[in-house]
């Protein structure tokens, strides 16, 4: 089976190439924005900026399946004058152009990495997002992912392309950025963190578990047409995540019991309301259909995923 991985030089893409290289009978082709050294791919194709006019035909030639990872991801400090248009150009128009060209090229299966943000930004206590829930995207990134999902379903209905969608929560591992990297740095520096009073639950997925599922979806006949949730299988509160990080670093977790309402007020005053929300609110996903219908379970436990991530951080990303 010849597989095209887009965004192959990204955070998830590089690990997926390693995962798929170990699969018997798989030949790997990588698509990147510009030239990159990817030793695990047989071929590397530079496709430039992604939009409705991108020409994917050389990369798609003779491919059996596509894993589409390339995207404009959620931006913490947005600088675009019209973020919605930029997200749509890359994440919606670019994805659908790739899918249409995949149909012409005779590709059988199209695996699309979407986001749990399609479901919404937070879950109520004791509840989890499932694929049956109505979509409730709250920002331009999530809207662009939902529109791509809907467009892919339409293309599949007309062409027979086997579309498979994965909605992922926060992915961590070597190369992780944003809030997760900040937490690693704060724990490493021994800073006291005002998070002991936070009683939330968050679903996370290590890059190793996500890539294992993506590999499963390439060939699993029960995956066709489905939307699948993924996680490590253990939901953590923010203070528990900090404790686990500290244990992996052989550090002490310094947690202070500051009321959540004060954290939210401070975040609003500092212009970091969204970041504080992600530290304090719950967001969990229901992965039971993924386990029960696909026969898949996460091969890497949370503690092992954190241990590997901490090892990368200490060797490459620590200040």
Confidence at 178, pLDDT banded by 50, 70, 90: confident
Q: How far is CA 165 from CA 13, 182, 203, 224, in A?
A: 16, 29, 18, 9
Confidence at 39, pLDDT banded by 50, 70, 90: confident
Note if 141 is an active site residue: yes
Query: CB-based contacts of 158: which residues, under 8 Å, 6+ apart?
Result: none
- Cross-strand partners of 129: 285
Distance between CA atoms of residues 175 and 126, nearest Å: 31
Residue 134 included in any domain: yes
The predicted-structure confidence for 201-251, as pLDDT tens digits, reads as follows 999 999 999 999 999 999 999 999 999 999 999 999 999 999 999 999 999
The predicted-structure confidence for 127-175, as pLDDT tens digits, reads as follows 999 999 999 999 999 999 999 999 999 999 999 999 999 999 999 999 9
Give residue 77's pLDDT. Answer: 56
Give residue 6's pLDDT. Answer: 95
pLDDT at residue 89 greater than cutoff 90: yes
Give residue 76's pLDDT. Answer: 53
Is 239 strand, coil or helix? helix
CA angle, 165 as apex, 152 and 59 as ends, to 5°?
A: 65
Distance between CA atoms of residues 82 and 99, nearest Å: 25
Distance between CA atoms of residues 54 and 256, nearest Å: 50
Pairing of the two strands 162-168 and 170-172: unpaired
The predicted-structure confidence for 43-80, as pLDDT tens digits, reads as follows 778 888 899 999 999 999 999 999 999 998 866 555 66
Residue 69 included in any domain: yes
* Number of domains the chain is built from: 1
* Residue 112 and residue 168 in contact, taking contact as beta carbons nearer than 8 Å: no
Is 45 strand, coil or helix? strand
Residue 204: φ, ψ to 5° = -130, 165
Number of helices followed by number of strands (H, E) in the chain: 12, 9
Residue 139 included in any domain: yes
Is 148 strand, coil or helix? helix
pLDDT at residue 186 greater than cutoff 80: yes
The predicted-structure confidence for 247-263, as pLDDT tens digits, reads as follows 999 999 999 999 999 99
The predicted-structure confidence for 290-318, as pLDDT tens digits, reads as follows 999 999 999 999 999 999 999 999 998 77
pLDDT at residue 119 greater than cutoff 60: yes
User: Of all residues in the chain, what percent are helix, strand and coil, respectively (each to 5)?
Assistant: 45, 15, 40
Structural domain boundaries enclosing 90:
2-172+205-233+284-300
Query: CB-based contacts of 39: which residues, under 8 Å, 6+ apart?
Result: none
Q: For residue 287, what are its two tokens?
A: 């992965």
Residue indicated by tokens 């639950």: 201
Q: For residue 184, what are its two tokens?
A: 């690693």
Residue 81 included in any domain: yes
* Residue 97 and residue 53 in contact, taking contact as beta carbons nearer than 8 Å: yes
Among the listed residues 112, 141, 180, 296, the single catalytic one is: 141
Distance between CA atoms of residues 9 and 261, nearest Å: 40
What are the DSSP E strand ranges found in 123-252?
A: 162-168, 170-172, 204-206, 227-229
Residue 311 included in any domain: no
Which CATH number is 17's domain given? Answer: 3.40.50.720
Give residue 241's pLDDT. Answer: 97
Count of positions (residues) in the chain? 319
Residue 20 included in any domain: yes
Residue 73 included in any domain: yes
Residue 317 included in any domain: no
pLDDT at residue 287 greater than cutoff 80: yes
């Amino acid at each position: 089976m010849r597989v095209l991985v887009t965004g192959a030089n990204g955070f998830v893409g590089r690990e997926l190439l390693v995962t798929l290289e170990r699969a018997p009978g798989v030949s790997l082709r990588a698509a990147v924005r510009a030239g990159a050294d990817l030793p695990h791919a047989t071929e590397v194709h530079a496709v430039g900026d992604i939009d409705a006019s991108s020409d994917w035909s050389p990369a798609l030639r003779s491919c059996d399946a596509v894993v589409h990872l390339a995207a404009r991801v959620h931006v913490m400090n947005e600088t675009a004058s019209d973020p919605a248009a930029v997200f749509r150009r890359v994440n919606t128009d670019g994805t659908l152009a790739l899918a249409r060209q995949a149909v012409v090229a005779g590709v059988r299966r199209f695996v699309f990495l979407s986001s749990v943000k399609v479901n919404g930004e937070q879950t109520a206590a004791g509840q989890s997002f499932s694929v049956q829930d109505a979509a409730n995207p709250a920002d331009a990134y999530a809207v662009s992912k939902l529109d791509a999902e809907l467009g892919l379903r339409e293309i599949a209905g007309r062409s027979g392309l086997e579309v498979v969608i994965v909605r992922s929560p926060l992915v961590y591992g070597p190369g992780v950025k944003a809030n997760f990297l900040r937490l690693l740095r704060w724990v490493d520096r021994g800073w006291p963190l005002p998070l002991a009073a936070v009683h939330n639950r968050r679903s996370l997925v290590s890059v190793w578990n996500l890539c294992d599922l993506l590999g499963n979806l390439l060939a699993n006949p029960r995956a066709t047409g489905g939307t699948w949730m993924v996680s490590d299988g253990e939901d953590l509160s923010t203070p528990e995540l900090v404790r686990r990080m500290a244990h992996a670093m052989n550090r002490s977790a310094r947690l202070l019991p500051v009321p959540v309402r004060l954290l939210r007020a401070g975040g609003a005053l500092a212009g970091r309301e969204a970041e504080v929300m992600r530290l304090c609110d719950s967001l969990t996903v229901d992965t039971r259909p993924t386990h029960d219908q696909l026969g898949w379970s996460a091969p890497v436990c949370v503690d092992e995923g954190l241990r590997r991530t901490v090892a990368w951080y200490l060797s490459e990303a620590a200040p």
